[in-house]
Structure 1
Amino acid sequence: MGLPLKALLRWTVLALLLAWQPLAASATATAVTEYAVKSALLLKLTRFVYLPTEQEDRPRHLCILGQNPFGDTLQQLNQASAPDQQVELVFLSATEQAPGCNYVFISQSERRRLGSILRQLDGLPLVTISDLRGFARNGGMVEFALTNEQGSQLNILINRKTASRQGITFNAQLLRLATLVNE
């Protein structure tokens, strides 16, 4: 029997922070640590989201739309995962490539096109994820939100209304950990 989601996330974050601690002296360490944690959460998230039944039989595709903010971290963590927990990482240059994806992370570089992107993805049985401020309140499904004045606490915001329109549901443990928002 596995660890509950909250304990699993706590251990993942702790392990990542310890692994990246030697970089703390450099100016870019905060960004590396932030996206290392987001990488781990993104990969873990795929285990706590239920896709429509027609999507369950195919390999899980995690797509990044826009500039890749994760560097090599996401790929390294994915490769270090157990084979049955790995996802296929796909880097998209256009929204039209998204129908083959189960999860689409919309990067900061797509901020200006966010409304258009969400309209284009509407109706597809995929999970939209981003760390853009206000993403979940503006029709995205899952937002990784930095909170507090130092930006050092990461919260998961979930828009269940948007997700349910696409046939997406979430594990109860994830819902207890997350903050639910409405459009």
Structure 2
Amino acid sequence: MWRRCARVLAGLLAGLCCGLAAAQPPAPHAASEQALKAVLLFKLPLFVYEPPLENAPSPSICHLGRSGLEDALAKLQRSVTDERTFSVRYLDDAAQAVDCDMVFIGSSERHRLGAILSQLHRRPQVTVSDIKGFAQSGGIVELLVRSEGTGIDIVINQRVARERGVSFSAQLLRLARPPED
């Protein structure tokens, strides 16, 4: 089953990473940027090997702050994906994330990012955000919208991930790119 899921995500990620030509108008039914980020957030546990989230029946995903993804996440968590159920807990403070496997840090927390990351990185949690420069600032996974708006790049800071005891599948690492120095 995980191989099927891996192929599905790899195809989705490849499409997101490759994007469409900038001259093409978006399809009328094209998914929104928020919906794509939400799907990536829900699929990411399939590619996290340490801590072992790929087989977890219900990985704990937490959302800290506000990001604009709330509606898309609410729609997704009502569905069963890859025989798993997902629930998202919304947090006001990083101290509440002690039992979360993954923590999405909303853009509203940009000004407190350093303090939040130092608090969260006390245990092996996957930190994810769409804040520009997140991976470069010490986060693990950044969902970066391309400047031309033609897709989403996945940026993974493997150094920080290793330091925090997090490892990803080779399939995801081939699609991701490192943070810019």
SS at match of 1:179: coil
- Give the aligned partner of residue 133 of structure 1: 132
Give me the whole-angstrom Cα distance separating, in 2, the residues matched to 1:166 and 1:48.
16
Q: Secondary structure at the match of 2:70?
A: coil
1:78 aligns with 77
Structure 1 residues 87 and 154: CA distance shift in structure 2, 3 A: same
Q: Which residue of 2 aligns with 1:169?
A: 167
CA drift at 1:125 = 1.4
Query: How far has the Cα of 1:164 moved from its partner?
Result: 1.0
Counterparts of 1:119 and 1:159, CA distance in 2? 15
Segment of structure 1 superposing worse, 85-94 or 131-140: 85-94
Amino acid at match of 1:167: G
- Normalised by the size of structure 2, how large is the TM-score? 0.80
Structure 2 partner of 1:27: none
Contact 1:159–1:182 (CA<8 Å) still a contact in 2?
A: no
Residues in 2 aligned to 1:11 and 1:136: alpha-carbon distance in whole angstroms? 22
SS at match of 2:32: helix
How many residues end up aligned between the 2 structures?
169
Q: Indicate the percent of aligned positions where both proteins have the same amino acid.
A: 38
Q: Given the superposition, is the C-alpha separation of residues 75 and 10 from structure 1 closer, same or farther in structure 2, using an over 3 Å criterion? A: farther
1:4-15 superposed matches below 5 A:
4=7, 5-9=9-13
Is the counterpart of residue 146 in structure 1 residue 145 in structure 2? yes
Q: Greater relative contact order (Cα 8 A, min sep 6): structure 1 or 2?
A: 2
Moved segments of 4+, more than 3 Å: 8-14, 56-59
Q: State the one-letter code of the partner of 2:163.
A: R
Pairing 1:63–2:70 present: no
> Equivalent residue for 2:28?
21
> How far apart, in 2, do the equivalents of 1:103 and 1:162 lie?
15
Structure 1 residue 94 displacement after superposition: 0.5
Query: How does the TM-score come out when normalised to structure 1?
Result: 0.80
Which sections of structure 2, spanning at least 5 residues, go unmatched?
20-26
Structure 1 residue aligned with 2:90: 91
* Cα gap change, 1:76 to 1:111, in 2 (>3 Å): same
